[in-house]
Amino acid sequence: MKRKIVLAIGRDRQNLDFLEDYFSDTRSECVIAAPENGVREFLKHRPEFLFADLKGLSRKACAELISGISRETEIVFGTNIPEDRAFPSVIALESPFEIRTFQKVVFAAAHFPDVLKVLTIDDDREICEGIKESLELRKGPAFRVESASNGFEGFRKIESCRPDVTILDIKMPVKNGLDLCREMRRKNPELRMIVLTSTVGADEILELRKSGVPSFVEKGSSGSSYPELVNLIKKQWLFS
């Protein structure tokens, strides 16, 4: 599977570190470039997403960067956009990056389908029902949620409903999540998965990483709250 490329152009180490960390639990590759190398790196990688700090660039360099990239790239985000020049193709981001504001701007600019299909595979019925009730109240995008109580049932539902994102527990009866993950990755390497579980051992994490599942959320943590789970689903759909 071809990884999506995110190109980050700038010298602000705090923002660059933020971007590298943010995309580390997706299947996107975050490429860092200095401003003077921005156009060259774009031509080399042809990124789907660009984050560019325009501070200190000349008008000519800004124009070259934006005109050359915005036509090729899905979305261009910019910080320190010159006030005396209009860049209508650039979505402004405030610096320094902060997770809630950053995601709000990025998701508002992204092109989501009208409906995202989510499959929750967990033997805890309460968790499945809670995720379904929370997600199906939302719009922009709307969510259609199905569930399965074990890996065997989950395998059949993945085959039949083709979810956009699958939320997967590891410890389950009949067929556990790790076996399901290995099997589905062989058949469908582009399947987006989020592991939502109470305990994941080091060996299990290694196996899941090998299978291309970078996103783990611990049950009961702040990341497993329904608003944060919505953001993680959107993030995985957009960048994995």
Mind spelling out the 3-state secondary structure of 137-189? CCCCCEEEEEEECCHHHHHHHHHHHCCCEEEECCCCCCCCHHHHHHHHHHHCC
Reported confidence tier of residue 117, pLDDT bands at 50, 70, 90: very high
For residues 105 and 22, the answer to whether their CB atoms sit within 8 Å is no
Give yes or no: residues 9 and 91 share one domain.
Answer: yes
Give yes or no: residues 30 and 73 share one domain.
Answer: yes
Give the end of a domain, one of 59, 90, 109: 109
For residues 207 and 178, the answer to whether their CB atoms sit within 8 Å is yes
Q: What is the CATH number of the domain that holds 47?
A: 3.40.50.2300
Give yes or no: residues 67 and 178 share one domain.
Answer: no
Residue 212 has pLDDT above 70, yes or no: no
Give yes or no: residues 119 and 218 share one domain.
Answer: yes
The per-residue pLDDT for 200 is 64
Give yes or no: residues 97 and 183 share one domain.
Answer: no
- Of 50-59, 101-110, 114-123, minimum mean pLDDT range: 50-59
Residue 220 has pLDDT above 70, yes or no: yes
Give the end of a domain, one of 109, 139, 161: 109
The per-residue pLDDT for 191 is 86
Give the total number of structural domains in the chain: 2
pLDDT in tens, 191-204: 898 988 776 666 76
Give yes or no: residues 121 and 103 share one domain.
Answer: no
DSSP state of 2: P
For residues 7 and 29, the answer to whether their CB atoms sit within 8 Å is no
Give yes or no: residues 142 and 102 share one domain.
Answer: no
Q: Domain residues for 130?
A: 115-239
Residue 70 has pLDDT above 60, yes or no: no
